Each structure stands twice: as structure tokens, then as C-alpha cells.
Amino acid sequence: MPETLPLALLINVAILVVGMGLLWRAAVKIGDVSFIDAVWGGGMGVLALASWLHVQGGPGARASLIAGMAVIWATRLAWHLYTRWQGHGEDPRYAKMLGKAKAQGKFASAALKFVFAPQALLLFITCLPAQLGVLASGAPAPIGPLAMAGAALWLLGITFEAVGDAQLKAFRADPANKGKVLQTGLWRYTRHPNYFGDACVWWGIWLAAAEAGLWVALASLIGPVFLTFTLTKWSGKPLLEKGIADRRPGYKQYVERTSGFIPWPPKRG
């Protein structure tokens, strides 16, 4: 374990706390926290880049690979979610979560307690594979078979995520599709290609990081495990699909024949 690792992680924590604090103040000023989804992705890119700059003796090839994967993923996702927020306005999930507090004049404290503080902690934990993998990969640290396998999984994931998002955006842009269910392209094989891609990206980054040593693999395993749990069991798929069958005709049948996460040929009938 590099001697400078604890200090580098503390610096990353400081960056995250200051950044989240400033963004919290901005959210209070505009009365909307919905841009936090873009911060979730972008923040992980910032932590990966900061870690790369902290590598003792200079980053090796593996450190640059891990940081590059995290930053590319973060930039794409942050821009996608930021432009979506600008186009659609306040997210109904956050409006429902903070509506009562806003009406009572307690929006600032509620936004900090229920959105920004938890997001900062969970962001840091999820990003551990990139942070530890980079910090433990000083020069020369070449790119070995495990890191190459991780990069391949990352490429599959970001492709799924980007293509799935593009297909959904194009579908929603057509007025003729209002109230309908997207069932073509990647969405024919999984109800959530973007979530599946997200998981693949961070399992790929974890694989690449694991090449730095068993301690890195074990210490950062919580990152992709938590992310996968979030996407499949907590605030991802379950929250998004809640009540959607009542709003969109045909969605129940779509659920019955289409995989909920891992891409798979649809069931017949």
C-alpha cells in the first residue's frame, strides 16, 4: 500500500465536501436539487482525476487506463444528465421527496440531509475502485491481462449505456411515441440497458484496479457491489418502474417478456 494513499484519499474527501457544499448552496438558491444526478457521475470523474494527480512517483500505464475509463464515463454521463435536467426541469422524484420541506421553509436543511450529504458519501464509496486502483498503480505498473479484461468489460458497458440513452432520447423526441413503451433496439433485450451498462463500467474498472493487488480488490469491492444493488434493488429499477404500468398501456406485457437487467432474448407469447 503506497504511503501517500491515506493523504490522497483525505484530499479527495476535502474536494468532495467543498464541491458538494458549493453545489448545495446553488441548489438552495434555485430551489431544485435535480442536477445532483449529473454530479453523481461527474464527481467520480473528478475523484479519479485527482487520484491520478496524487500518484506517488507518477502514474503508470495502468493508473492512466483506470483514470481514463472513469473520466470518459463520468464526462458522458454528467453531460447527458445535465442536458436532460435542463430540458425537462425538476425531477418528480426530488420534487416529491422535498416538497413538504419546501412548503415548510425547510428546503435547505432537507436538501443537505437527504440529498447532498448521502450522495457525497455514496459517491466516494462507489468510486473506490478508481481511486484505489489509480493510487496503487504508480510507474511502471503496466497494463496486464486483468486490466485488459476490465477495459473490455468497460467498453461493453459504456457502449450499452450510451446507445441505450441515445435510443431512448430519440424515441421520446417523437411526439407519436407519447405514452408508448420503447421496445426496440437494446430495449428489446433489457428494460434497462443504461443501468446494465453502468454496472459493467464499474465492474470493469474494479477488475482493472484489482490487478494492483488483492488488498485493492477487497477494499474496493464495495463500490461495484453497492452500485449493482442500487441499480437493481434500490433507487434504480424498482423506483423507476413503480407505477409505470398504470401510466403506460402495454408496459405490464413488456415487463413479462423482457429481462429486467441482463440482456436476454425476449420471451415468446
Secondary structure (DSSP) of 11-79: HHHHHHHHHHHHHHHHHHHHT--TTHHHHHHHHHHHHHHHHHHH-TT-B-HHHHHHHHHHHHHHHHHHH
Give residue 269's pLDDT.
62
Dihedral sign (CA 224, 226, 229, 235): negative
Give residue 124's pLDDT.
97
pLDDT tens sequence for the chain (269 residues): 777 899 999 999 999 999 999 999 999 999 999 999 999 999 999 999 999 999 988 999 999 999 999 999 999 999 999 999 998 888 888 988 899 999 999 999 999 999 999 999 999 999 999 999 999 999 899 999 999 999 999 999 999 999 999 999 999 999 999 888 999 999 999 999 999 999 999 999 999 999 999 999 999 999 999 999 999 988 878 877 877 867 788 888 899 999 999 999 998 86
CA 193 to mean position of chain CA atoms: 13
The phi, psi pair for 59, rounded to 5°, reads -70, 140
Give residue 240's pLDDT.
78
Per the listing, cell 490487478 goes with: 211
Give residue 52's identity as a one-letter amino acid code: W
161 CB-near residues (< 8 Å, 6+ apart): 73, 76, 77, 193, 194, 196, 197, 198, 201
3-state secondary structure of 116: helix
> How far, in Å, CA of 97 to CA of 108, rounded?
13
What is the C-alpha radius of gyration for the chain, rounded to an integer number of angstroms? 20
> How far, in Å, CA of 42 to CA of 214, rounded?
28
Residue ranges covered by each domain of the chain: 5-257
125 CB-near residues (< 8 Å, 6+ apart): 222, 223, 226
